[in-house]
Amino acid sequence: MPPSPTSKAPKSFDELKELLKDDTMVKVAGIDVDGILRGKIMSKAKFLSAVKSDFGFCGVVYSWDMHDLTYSRELLVSNKSNGYRDILGKIDLTTFRRIPWEDNVPFFLVFFQDQESDELLPVDPRSLLDKVANKAKGMGWDCMSGAEFEYFQYAETPQSLEEKRFVGLTPLTPGAHGYSLLRPTLNKDYFYDLYNISTAMDVEIEGHHTETGPGVFETALAYTDTLRMADNAVLYKLIAKSVGMKHNIMPTFMAKPWENESGCSGHIHVSLRGKDGKNVFAATEAEVKAGGRKDASFPDLRFVSKEAEWFLAGVLTGLRDVIPMMCPNINSYKRLLGGEQYWAPDTASYGYDSRIASIRIICPPGVGAYASRFEVRIPGADMNTHYAMAAIYGLGLRGIEEKLELPYGPIGSPGVTRDTIVHLPTSLEKATEAFMAKDSVARKVFGDFYVDHFGGTREHELELNRRAVTDWEMRRYFELA
């Protein structure tokens, strides 16, 4: 099931040709396991041919890491034994956009497929999320999502980063100025370019402001169907980095770029929409008027539906086993180590309108029933949004299918303390062990192929980290050891 189409997406091949009549080339891209866009320019003739019959794309993008280093051991998609063969790119016409800072070159996203079976590649982020969304569709629902990113900006260039060896960087603005009307004035053109260029690319923004910390912005993307939202999220990162270069500004979506500052969150909002267009998570109008649902397990859940409660139970009971899908990098866990102090929960907790819980319940009386949803606050801004959303919906739909009961009460309930609830892994090593375990919920929901391949990429990340000699080690041991 493709995402909802962009405003100018072609509805037919003839319409596509008309859209491209004045173009000579087209840019296409897919997404790798790190959430990075991997693409190329195609001639218009080659592109139009590929729309009808798919095209070969070098499979090596699934055999190397974010710095193009081949994985420490052979993994499942592309490897020495199969000659690093091609995978197939299936062009998704619903994603048509033009790239404003590249002379409005036309642009499309792709799904990746296996060349032998023609089946969607299990580790392709768009394909994985599409599979989960199709499952929901089969149950009569659409997955609806929103995403928020916090990110630091630096008055740096790629060259100055290299020269400084990524140390002693200059924040775009000094001090902590959350929701400031003053601070954006210092970099007005950049701040508004982010909004305006996103809008021009059909990446709709709901809110855009400064966040607390030196040079920090927060951008909330407008709520839409989940595959479109995940696409918008990966494109927003591209927009921010590309627009930033024009202004000699380097944004980073690292989860924890500063040791003693808050980290960068990547909060995800989720709900289900029925065929009638109504929010499946919402309590009925009668239930709201009566003070809430009578069979709610806990008062915090009285204004959401039973399906929402099952969904929440599914997420809570599987959360520990899918954390690498939300927190994929070594640095991701430096943010979680802050715990409640930095509103980055390291437990499987939940609560009504609670920003110290892992899952914040948003519903009446705080919002209208139509806006009922869950905000999953675990991911950082460094997440691969497609994987993170697949994890949330995969677990939640499992909870509804199995009518799972909540394992414990909301945060602050009698008997619910930090010692009595599930703790999440706070290192990539522990998270990957749980993810790849033989009885992992991740294996049950997403299958062995996906878990073994993506888990192997995380083991590669850990191996590189084990070999690294860090600045901290030099400062700690160089003189006195």
Domain ranges of the chain: 13-121, 141-472
**What pLDDT is stored for residue 340 in this prediction?**
56
- 204 within 8 A of 185, measured Cβ to Cβ: no
Question: What CA dihedral angle connects 230, 233, 239 and 245, to 10 degrees?
Answer: -130
**pTM over cut 0.85:** yes
How far apart are the C-alpha atoms of 385 and 247, rounded to whole Å?
Answer: 26
**What pLDDT is stored for residue 377 in this prediction?**
95
- 322 within 8 A of 442, measured Cβ to Cβ: yes
How far apart are the C-alpha atoms of 410 and 424, rounded to whole Å?
Answer: 16
Looking at this protein, which amino acid is placed at residue 168? G
CA atoms within 13 A of residue 209's CA, in its CB half-sphere? 11
**What pLDDT is stored for residue 117 in this prediction?**
84
**What pLDDT is stored for residue 116 in this prediction?**
82
Token pair in block for residue 305:
């539906």
- 424 within 8 A of 378, measured Cβ to Cβ: yes
**What pLDDT is stored for residue 259 in this prediction?**
84
How far apart are the C-alpha atoms of 206 and 267, rounded to whole Å?
Answer: 14
**What pLDDT is stored for residue 343 in this prediction?**
60
Q: Which one, of 386, 426, 379, lies nearest residue 148 by Cα?
A: 379
How far apart are the C-alpha atoms of 106 and 90, rounded to whole Å?
Answer: 16
Q: Which one, of 327, 358, 335, lies nearest residue 428 by Cα?
A: 327
Q: Are strands 216-225 and 205-210 parallel, antiparallel or unpaired?
A: antiparallel
Token pair in block for residue 355:
């920003």
User: In sequence order, which residues have a C-beta less than 8 Å from that of residue 295 and are 6 or more positions away?
Assistant: 306
**What pLDDT is stored for residue 296 in this prediction?**
94
CA atoms within 13 A of residue 258's CA, in its CB half-sphere? 19
**What pLDDT is stored for residue 84 in this prediction?**
80
How far apart are the C-alpha atoms of 446 and 321, rounded to whole Å?
Answer: 11
User: In sequence order, which residues have a C-beta less than 8 Å from that of residue 367 and are 6 or more positions away?
Assistant: none
Q: Which one, of 130, 117, 126, lies nearest residue 28 by Cα?
A: 126
CA atoms within 13 A of residue 264's CA, in its CB half-sphere? 25
**What pLDDT is stored for residue 44 in this prediction?**
97
The mean pLDDT values, 10 residues at a time, for the chain of 481 residues are 90 96 97 97 97 92 92 84 86 97 97 88 97 97 98 95 91 90 92 97 96 94 98 98 96 92 93 97 94 94 97 97 97 81 77 94 95 96 98 98 97 89 94 97 97 97 95 89 89
Q: Which one, of 371, 378, 153, 199, lies nearest residue 278 by Cα?
A: 371
**Homologous superfamily, domain 141-472:** Glutamine synthetase/guanido kinase, catalytic domain (3.30.590.10)
Q: Which one, of 59, 58, 113, 63, lies nearest residue 88 by Cα?
A: 113
How far apart are the C-alpha atoms of 155 and 248, rounded to whole Å?
Answer: 6
CATH of domain 13-121: 3.10.20.70
